[in-house]
Homo-oligomer: A and B are copies of this chain.
């Protein structure tokens, strides 16, 4: 069970890894739908100007050109297309284009491949699956959705056979208001520096802030703020000590604490504050989210997002939204490499129907048809070899049962038990109809 990599950055699962990936996808899907999110699929391709509108991510984009097109003219074309690098940009475009036909608040999920031309290192892929949920309103969006999306993702991750996931939250208004109170105009700069805390450490962050011209006491306060985390009371108490105050900060703290109190009431401990969380993208305006898996902090955040007020615009109308995105491929890749799960078998087949001799193949086919009729996946042996070889055929693939039409018996090749059976009524006694993914 592993990813096969013949082209760097573009892993492909073997059959068992594919089963795990599909299991993760359908588990997420089930949770999203239980919460009323409708499935949407957007095209993989966007006009380049759409992809670049968000700024900052330009280096990651794959551009397209038809083989017959002139490379230089294609590169200059205003109509040039590229592959989407996330599912937020296409969703924003879809909402803008179809605002007239959507019902707001609009709740959708999307599970699709995305592509980034990044260097394929540190477990980063160039092609990978993301699973996104977003809620978008028309003009306004109640704060309650900032709570809901976090809890939906907490439930979705809890349904997977992985260690406990903790959603870490902050609020852009907290950082914004904190900076305002300290007289810092360059909030973006502060966020960008804070975002590097893991990479360059507190001293590195302080040095960067000095370069940005921040005052020493402001740098010290920001460093202290970045240490604050936990529940609502820790946030309030931690900030009180710093004696920093502004209307935006108060608003941000109130929202953050409301989120923490509500999530703690409904899913105790699943959502915690971490005031150093910045998130790279500048369109976030409220809650921002990251997610850690216990014992796998090195994996980075596997589920991130935030509230955005004006990512989606159409003339004077704005469509504020909030969403989170799970890095499915990265998560699955770790589930495989850390052996978090096992798969009961690598093919859907439950029964191999043996063939006595080629003349009698129709008898085997009849058994297979009868079993399939009742939802039992079957294979008919490709050749009328000796039964030992036919059993080996099943064994190699992990097919648990072999059926012998001549004697009307079915054998559990794992236990050796063989019983008389009727293909019109028999059900596999101790095996799932579909390959099962189990916690290892």
Contact = CB atoms under 8 A, between A and B. Distances in A.
Interface of A: 4, 6-7, 10-15, 18-19, 21-22, 33-45, 47-48, 58-68, 71-72, 74-75, 81-83, 94, 97-98, 101, 103, 105, 107-108, 113, 115, 117, 126-127, 137, 142, 144-145, 148, 265-266, 346-349, 361-362, 365, 369, 372, 375-380, 382-383, 396-397, 434
Give the oligomeric copy count. 2
A413 to B, nearest CB: 15
A62 B66 contact: yes
Contact of A62 (B64, B101, B346, B397): B64
Contacts of A137: 382
Nearest to A47: B7
Nearest to A40: B18
A372 to B, nearest CB: 5
6 contacts: A4-B98, A15-B40, A19-B39, A35-B379, A38-B347, A142-B382
A405 to B, nearest CB: 16
B38 A67 contact: no
B67 A35 contact: no
Contacts of A21: 41
A84 to B, nearest CB: 11
Given A35-B378, A72-B72, A361-B144, A43 B383 contact: no
B105 A382 contact: yes
Contacts of A18: 38-41
A167 B83 CA distance: 36
